[in-house]
Structure 1
Amino acid sequence: MFARLFRASVWARGAVPAHERDDQLDARFFLPLFDVGIIILGIFGAMNHIPALDQHYPEPLVDALAYSLSLAGALALVGVSFPRLERLELCAKFFLIAALAVYPAVLLLTAAGGDNQRWVAGIGLALLVLIPFRRVVRLIVRIWRHRVGYPATEELTTIDADA
């Protein structure tokens, strides 16, 4: 059973098609590591609370956001680990983008209200949203190409330096 699961995973030999080899390190290392980090972030956020959000929202709402962040991270981890579940990953990453955007938005809004110490944290966390956003764009392009039968060749997935 475990051998079959491994063969279906992104870590199996040949799991990443030749035209997507540039994504291999992302899919096998960085994206799972990011998703595990999101799971941990959500758990610690629920256990220890998030002060900037607690100031503006009721505690149960903040806890629900933190736990749902962990759940979305777990679903995204399953989706990135098994390429056939890329649509599950896409849905989870959409939620991650929305949930991860809430915290920097609150920080930036409170910074605009006069708390200048939160600008750097708000901008830094806003940049964190770019990681799942990049993956969402790549998944949408991959699903669209597969749906319309667009040929996935090496020349379509690499940038030509002479162009």
Structure 2
Amino acid sequence: MSPIAYVLIAAAFSLVILSIVLCIGAGLEQPNGWVLRLWRASIWHPDAIPEGEGKVAADVKRTLLPFYDLVLIGAALLAIRGGMPTFVIVYNDAVSGSAAWSLLGAASLCLIGVAFPRLWRLEAAAKITLTTILLVYGVMLLGSSVTEPARGFVGGLTIAVCLLPVSRILWLGDEYRKRKAT
């Protein structure tokens, strides 16, 4: 399959999820059975985020985090298709493929954890895995920038991309401590 096909698959998957969320949220006054349970359990339900957290927290949880995870799912699909060159250089194709599939699994689990707040432990574990893969890749790129300076920028950018999942891990820990205290 071509890289464009992988991007189209990821985009179609994203549109299906978005359509379901929008249809459930906007159109169904009295959904039945599993649809109602799914809707109530999702981050997009009006009662999913306590009012005390504010609009910014709601926007981050409902928009930014899912979008970030979808972008990483797309990137993982491209990595599965084209490999992760620095892993190939430092290790081999098998490690590169494993890292790409692990990235896809972690990003997918992050999306599920973000979408359903009760699965916060799953999200935290997946974010730790995701961050580890990205940090290792970024450090390897920075290390290889000694001989190929152009890799330094990509390495720095890869490490910078880790700021959002690291902050989310800390946020989840803070929410857990608050729940435990009450």
Normalising by structure 2, we get a TM-score of 0.78
CA distance in 2, matches of 1:81, 1:92: 13
Residue 105 of structure 1 is matched in structure 2 by 139
CA distance in 1, matches of 2:113, 2:120: 5
Q: Deviations over 1:51-79 (max 9, x none)?
A: 22211111111101110111111111111
Higher relative contact order (CA 8 A, sep 6+): 1
Residue 103 of structure 2 is matched in structure 1 by 69
CA distance in 2, matches of 1:88, 1:20: 22
Greater shift after overlay, 46-55 or 136-145? 46-55
Contact in 1 for aligned 2:85/2:96 (Cα 8 Å):
no
Deviation for aligned residue 1:18: 1.2
Residue 127 of structure 2 is matched in structure 1 by 93
Q: Deviations over 1:19-43 (max 9, x none)?
A: 2223101110110011111111112
Deviation for aligned residue 1:122: 1.1
For 1:8, which of 41, 49, 73 is the aligned residue? 41
Normalising by structure 1, we get a TM-score of 0.87
Say whether residues 1:147 and 2:180 are aligned partners: yes
- Letter aligned with residue 41 of structure 1: A
Deviation for aligned residue 1:125: 1.2
Residue 147 of structure 2 is matched in structure 1 by 114
CA distance in 2, matches of 1:147, 1:62: 40
CA distance in 2, matches of 1:20, 1:76: 21
Residue 27 of structure 2 is matched in structure 1 by none
Residue 47 of structure 1 is matched in structure 2 by 81
Residue 171 of structure 2 is matched in structure 1 by 138
Runs of 4 or more consecutive aligned structure 1 residues displaced over 2 Å after TM superposition: none
Unaligned runs of 5+ in 1: 150-163
Deviation for aligned residue 1:118: 1.3
Deviation for aligned residue 1:148: 2.5
Residue 62 of structure 2 is matched in structure 1 by 28
Please provide the CA RMSD for this pair.
1.1
- Letter aligned with residue 38 of structure 2: L
Q: Give aligned-pair identity as a percent.
A: 30
